[in-house]
Structure 1
Amino acid sequence: MSHDLAAKIADRSARVGVIGLGYVGLPLIHAFTSASFRCIGYDVDQTKVEQLSAGRSYIKHISSETVGEWIKKKQLDPTADMTRLNEADVLLICVPTPLNEARDPDLRYVEGTAHAIAKTLRAGQLVVLESTTYPTTTRDVLLPILEESGLTTGEDFFLAYSPEREDPGNPQFSAKNIPKVVGGIDEQSGELAAALYRHAIVEVVPVSSPEAAEACKILENTYRAVNIALVNELKVLFDRMGLDVWEVIDAAKTKPFGFQAFYPGPGLGGHCIPIDPFYLTWLARKQGLSTRFIELAGEVNRTMPEYVVLRLAEFLNDEAKPIRGSKICLLGMAYKKDVDDPRESPSFELLELLRERGADLTYNDPHIPTLPRMRHYDVPEMHSQELTPEFLADQDCVLIATDHSAYDYDHIVRHASLVLDTRNATKSVSNGREKIRKA
């Protein structure tokens, strides 16, 4: 079986099935179609399937023109029919792995996908989990479900883990030019997965096991979360001392060795960094250990939206205004600049905290015209407001939560009464600096 699949991968006749057509799945399809593979895209969201079938993209960095070409050339066949999972030679799982209310791993999407695959799994298929998760998920969760099919891994079908590495909004890096770590459940599985990715990805980094690949992804994002927590904590201290943390970081990063710059913000966003460290702390608890350093970093980062609201209250208080009844405009609902991705964005936490305090809220985000439904927040129906001089002048405070490049910060500061800047976005603004506060 492995020889047949290896031959299909070698001549690119293998059909690549991608399960989950979101911010990970679509860029992966782009990488494989660019390498002359035909793809089947699976998603339970019929709306996504219909949009793709019509040649329309719903992700900013994948254009509708590109999707239209996939459909026209029959490089992509989108479907919501999971009984068709056996039509693909390779199945790449790109479904969400959120946290539950107790901040423990929620693998229901991975497990549900595994059960769907098991119903149609046939000999000769390769299954690769790409969703970020904790070490042992592939072996202890995915493998037993797939073997309910009666097939045996390493003989009838093949299984590997290869963590997604996406950086939305970064034009320098896309799915095809970010090295791909691959760990197979056995030697044949690892070799087949590595051979597949080598056709579409600039570099493949094989590791000894799925657990090593799973731990690699967790390490990458925990490293970032801990260092961001450090600068967030220093931001609070330096604010108290009257120091500008941004100036301090800019000075520190002139050192050509031993220092990497991380930047503070209103909280952590995106699917990975706010979530992955908690997968690790959960796993440590199962092993009877505590990860105090990581847990403390999580605690610091989770308090940042509250700190921003506190700074806003102080700022308004200087103008003899309370938060309740004040007109506050949030600038930026995406979790990072220049993307349309709202997942885990701290802006939604700010929105909820300010609503609880009675603020009269509006928002602007050039990439998110209407607020989407969110898993953990009761999001009101709101639409992005145009930043006219009249609108800005009518606000008691403009709160910069995401520093999109599209914003004209000189224009914003010129017409706004007060500006609370959580991203150092106004650093180049020279006129009206008396209106600006950092948070």
Structure 2
Amino acid sequence: MVDLFETHLLGGTVPLKNRIVMPPMTRTRTSEGGLPTDGDVPNALMATYYGQRATAGLIIAEAADVDQSGHGYARTPGIHSAAQMQGWRLVTDAVHRHGGTIFLQLWHVGRLAHSSILPNGQGPVGVTAQRAEGSSVFAHGPDGRLGYMPAEAPRPLSTDEVSAMVGIFAKAAANARHAGFDGVELHAANGYLFDQFMNSVLNTRTDRYGGGSMEDRTRFLMEVVDAVVAEFGPGRVGVRLSPFGKYGSMPADPLTEETFLYLAEQLGQRGVAYIHLLYELMPDGNMETAEFKPRYLDHALLAKARAVFRGAFIWCGGFKDRERAQASLDTGLVDLIAFGRPYIANPDLVERLKHGWPLAEADRSTYYTRRGEVGYTDFPAYLNGDAARSVA
């Protein structure tokens, strides 16, 4: 058995100082770029935020748009412009200066988008024309104010457009490497574009990316994985999956288990460093109102995936204390534990878990806000707050 605070060599390439992961969490703290093509840009405040949390074994930075067509939520960053790369360099430098390791999550939201924040007012794109009924995104309303708007009906991507998207992801990975990231994670969960293609109910296409066979409906993800691994190298690419997830109005898929095991085997053959499992059933709605309701994979199913995937497994889903995290590691089914919300209010989470210090809680109203450092970088380390005076 391994200890939560033991080191780990991720993908045989990237040394981690412990088994604790800070997962990607959208926080809407970007700045506006100087040009329309700049998109939303990472900034010095974000560099401070990630630098404060660099004691994590691995930080996976919040999802970044690979292209303007994949911009599903206002105030979220991208990795497709020079300004964005410069902004992310502030972040990676801060994390590395504090001895941390950081990957960037790459995403395209597909149909979970709204024309008010897409280039030239164009509509969203998706695997088919099926709208994500009941889901909403953070965009501009008719009065121009930001708020949660219903996701609009998508235009189906053509076969050539899907193929071209592979190159877009590869370019985004190259941009991430030039911005100083140690690796990247592909967001193939939560009802976003990859997930839309892999769902056998939603994907009714009849081309080579269609849902008629396992190979076809996973082809898009596999082509992107191959391209990104070629760009970043084996051992520096992860993939996030959410088997059984319902977020983004995803229909229940009777082939979920079959697809998951196929993905594990194929990703294992492609030099993928880890599979990041987020298996929380969340209702339709939006990222601000969604409640997390963990639904953990059957251990027998996870053991089957473990047998065919040579990389690491990261578990993410409601972890709040050392005991439960260690118990999960003790199953031998996973290698790393991701703590999501606890990292918001506890920049020194590793030390708090190690010493049994109490965890602070963040005000949920500050999760997604334009109030700068409030609820973002203003949380003190345990021994810098009230506890320091008590110790003295």
How high is the TM-score relative to the length of structure 2? 0.30
Greater relative contact order structure (CA < 8 Å, 6+ sep): 2
Name the one with the larger strand percent: 2
Name the one with the larger helix percent: 1
Largest Rg, 1 or 2? 1
How high is the TM-score relative to the length of structure 1? 0.27
